[in-house]
């Protein structure tokens, strides 16, 4: 799912588990993570919203959460960020999936 400044606030406010991958096309680690994020989005469809937020095209959320490096992955539940789950840098599918499971179980 592509997250934009127009839809991301409503999605977070829905209260459901939300995972946001902050990325850019020029970021090598971000590009390598894309298939992982897309796989997990399909695998957890209906349980969590997993999407990508392109910082080249959007900036409200990146500024709000002070995203200084990418990839950065933020996790939200009940409309609030869960800081303890935040990930920075390229991650393995296993690591990211474990965080998604933790988020859903909260």
Residues identified as active-site: 27, 30
Q: How far is 61 from 85, CA to CA, in rounded Å?
A: 17
Query: Which has the closest alpha carbon to 20: 61, 64, 78?
Result: 61
């Amino acid at each position: 799912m592509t997250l934009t400044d127009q839809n991301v606030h409503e999605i977070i406010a829905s209260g459901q588990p939300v995972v946001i991958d902050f990325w850019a096309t020029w970021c090598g680690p971000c590009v390598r993570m894309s298939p992982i994020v897309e796989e997990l989005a399909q695998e957890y469809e209906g349980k969590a919203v997993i999407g990508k937020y392109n910082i080249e095209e959007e900036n409200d959320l990146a500024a709000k959460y002070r995203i200084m490096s990418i990839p950065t992955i933020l996790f939200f539940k009940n409309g609030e960020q869960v800081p303890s789950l935040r990930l920075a840098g390229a991650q393995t599918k296993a690591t990211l999936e474990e965080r998604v499971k933790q988020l859903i179980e909260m």
